Chain A
Amino acid sequence: MVKSKRSKAADLAIAFVCLLLIIICLLPMLNILARSLSSTEYILRNQVLLWPKGWNVEAYRLVLTDSKYTWSLAWTAILTVICVGVSMTMTVLCAYPLIYRDLKGRRFFNTMILFTMYFSAGTIPHYLLYKDLGLLNHPLVLIIPNSLSVFYMIIMRTFFYSIPDSLRESAEIDGAGPIRILFSIYLPLSKPVLATLSLFYAVGRWNGFSDALYYMNERKYHPIQLLLYNILNAVTSIEIQTQEGFASAPGISDTIQAATVMFATVPILIVYPWLQRYFISGATLGALKD
């Protein structure tokens, strides 16, 4: 097919707009990377844009030697690993039985689960329940209450549905029970979606903020986002500044803030290539419409 000249110009215009979008998406991250690696005097002279000036890794050294910050990073990493384990177990336990079309009560369970997507009791009832259960300020409050996402469970179930029933039926004829079939057929065939959902859960926990703010007063159990919030707002609040360490001369706080943001971002950037491999075709979310 021969394309007209005008269409070619339009193609380039569209590519240009996309290029602009790419720049807008990456700019803030490049900026903060540059600032974290620059020396204070250049930042104070407003000379740091996208390239570090006056190469300086002092901020990273300061952040890494701050025991509160490194502990929070380590604690959040531990928390994330535990959460992924718990969440994936719950997700499979919930999705797998529901694919048996002749399971009695299946409709009831489905409705009961879906209803929670549209109506929630609200912040305070949850808070009061955790208080009654003794979960407040207990590390479990960051693990259990949001361990199962209905949204991810539906993705898991949709994937299980795509595995042909005939495989299951032939295994049943051979005398295998549901548990055997789960471990020998469904889980091995679902590795890509298991990996993807694990990463989604992991990112969710790593980025989680409000549950810690609501339910966790114990400083040693503060996940990284909460500590980061306190550090980033330390400039406006002297009180927190002294509490969080890092109290230092003006200017240096800019590079330190930049470095703390980098530390919280890098784990996401590391797992991102694996994360996006699966959803890039849009297949997962497209399946959700049905």
Chain B
Amino acid sequence: MKRVANINPRRIINYLRKYWSLYLMLSIPIAYFIVFRYIPMTYIQIAFKRYSIVQSPWEMPLANNHGFEYFLKAFRNLDFLYALRNTLLLNFLDLVIGFPAPIILALLLNELTFPRFKRFTQSVVYLPHFLSWIIIAGLAKQLFAPTSGMINILLNRLGFESIPFLNDPTHWVFTYVFLGIWRNMGWNAIIYLAALTNINPELYEAAAIDGANRWQNIWYITLPGLRPTIFTMLILSLGHILSSELDRPYALSNPLVNSVSNVLSIFVYRYGIRGLQFSLTTAVGLFQSVVCVIFLVAANALAKRFGERGIW
């Protein structure tokens, strides 16, 4: 009986009379998502087809090897393999070295006892997040210049050799990771600081009665309190293991370090937009997206297996 009442035309008319304007408003962003996020997904089939400028993706002929021609081509392409290795290497180092940094910063700020100084520190460490990678590369090139950069001037004055921060592949990798931490450590600490405010203060009071010292407080109360947030952030980071932004490696690289700075985003830009090899680079992009989704789902499932909440 209820069902019948639900499809009662009068109710529908009343409902629409009340809410038509909401649908009207929503239609604009929904159209945006369809056109700029979902229609591009139909272009993914180009990865399996031979690109032709005069045909729509639906009409293009299937590529060889049951459509997997361009995936095979990519894995036989030395530039791609290097880009894949570099992307994995840089993202892995970002994860291992960069991931704990904001947690440590949040713990530090939490332990800082001078409130005004704490607020000032926060303002300053959040600032680099708002500078573009182009600007940061400009700052870094001047700061780390082999002879005229401030860091090397200081090193020389102290009697040390100059360090080729941006001009030698090994050093470049670590400069790249360090600059990533420099830019994002403060910003990423915000979410941990927010989680810290949710820890029940009674826990610390009880610990104080038991005579717990600072380390015991951090180890037994603060870190367990941060655990769910740490897992959420870790899952999200693993979901980016093969993603590759362009700005950061592109702005920081130079011809001397191409062997480590050419990542997948740069490969796609050079081979696709500049080189017009659309099928090959669409295949590479799809490979990236699929690997990322697999990692995200696997990490989420693993976290749930260990009794964490997961991200969905």
Contacts and interface: CB of A to CB of B under 8 A. Distances in A.
B302 interface: no
A122 interface: yes
A96 B132 contact: no
Contacts of A207: 130-132, 134-135
Interface stretch (A55-63, A160-168, A187-195, A253-261): A253-261
B239 A118 contact: yes
B89 interface: no
A97 B141 contact: no
Interface string B101-125: 0000100110111100111111111
A104 B140 CA distance: 52
A275 B130 contact: yes
A60 to B, nearest CB: 15
B269 interface: yes
A209 B132 contact: yes
B195 to A, nearest CB: 7
B208 A7 contact: no
B26 A261 contact: no
Contacts of B142: 31-32, 35, 254, 257-258, 261
B194 A286 contact: yes
B21 A145 contact: no
Nearest to B189: A282
Contacts, number: 265
A184 to B, nearest CB: 14
A214 B270 CA distance: 10
B25 A22 contact: no
Interface string A219-246: 0000001001100110010000000000
A280 interface: yes
A268 B131 contact: yes
Contact of A109 (B19, B30, B109, B124): B30
A46 B138 contact: no
B21 A122 contact: no
A118 B293 contact: yes
B237 interface: no
Contacts of A128: 40, 43, 46, 57, 278
Interface of A: 1, 7, 10-11, 14-15, 17-18, 21-22, 24-29, 31-32, 35, 43-44, 46, 48-50, 90, 93-94, 96-98, 100, 103-104, 109, 112-113, 116, 118-129, 144-145, 147-148, 153, 177-179, 203, 206-210, 213-214, 225, 228-229, 232-233, 236, 254, 257-258, 260-261, 264-265, 268, 272, 275-276, 279-283, 285-286, 288-289
Interface of B: 15, 18-19, 21-23, 25-26, 28-30, 32-33, 36-41, 43-44, 46, 57, 105, 108-109, 111-114, 117-128, 130-143, 147-148, 150, 153-154, 156, 182, 186, 190-191, 193-195, 197-198, 208, 213-214, 229, 232, 239, 245-247, 250-251, 254-255, 265, 268-269, 272-273, 278, 281-282, 285-286, 288-289, 293, 296
5 contacts: A15-B113, A49-B154, A124-B268, A125-B41, A144-B36
Given A7-B214, A90-B28, A129-B40, 7 more contacts: A97-B22, A120-B37, A123-B265, A209-B132, A229-B134, A285-B194, A286-B191
